[in-house]
Amino acid sequence: MKRNSIPVILLVTTLSLFGLVGGSFAQMQMQSGSQTCETCTMTVGADALDHLKVTDGNGTRHYVECIGCALKLLKTYDSIHIETYCDWYGPDYKIIAEISQHGALTTVDPATVLLLVGGGCTGNRVAYNETAADALLAKGFSENTMMMMQQPLPANTNVTTIPVKAMTFATNNAADAAQLSPFVVIVLFIVAVAVITGAIVGYKKLKH
């Protein structure tokens, strides 16, 4: 190997390692609770903050734009707790979902809750019961629906339940979507520094 190629290798290695550390840190920032939806990157408005309160098994709050985005958190987190309310009847009709095992185990209170999936955040609704679901299918929204969702639902809107929808994430391998802890980022940084230092020392020895 030519000596003048070693600095190039060092540069590429440095950029790659620090890029990995930077990407890891950025992912942590996204997961730390900023007011940007963690699964679709939309800005979470005040009405969404009021409409959806989602926490993971450690009690950490996560910010999401719709019920569909909340369920997508199951790709990363083993368990989530969702507090919301009916898009037709409003805040007096509270809905609570406890989901664990990446969606394999779900309990919803009340058991009559239905999920309307119309494609994308603006087409997702939560209904307290079948009557509310029928009303939402017919009219699309009520005064209790989030502002960005106040529009008709598509004709092909799917009516399902939260347990059934959550189950679609149960096959995800938690290891594939494991959240990066601060410890992991620190280790990556130490490894990057060690590799770069070792490469520089080795280069100096070769040079002499």
For residue 134, count other CB atoms closer than 10 A to its CB: 14
User: Are the C-beta atoms of residues 13 and 196 closer than 8 Å to each other?
Assistant: yes
* pTM exceeding the 0.75 threshold for the entire prediction: no
> Which segment of 48-62, 114-128, 178-192 scores lowest on mean pLDDT?
178-192
Query: What pLDDT band is residue 200 in, cutting at 50, 70 and 90?
Result: confident
Phi, psi at 100, each rounded to 5° = -140, 175
In the chain, where the domains are located:
3-28+182-207, 33-167
Length of the chain: 208
pLDDT tens, 77-126? 999 999 999 999 999 999 999 999 999 999 999 999 999 999 899 999 99
pLDDT tens, 136-167? Answer: 999 999 999 999 999 999 999 999 999 999 99
- Residue in the structure block whose two tokens are 């190997």: 1
Fold of 33-167: Beta-Lactamase (3.30.450)
The SS3 call for residue 160 is strand
**Residue 136 to residue 194: CA distance in whole angstroms:** 59
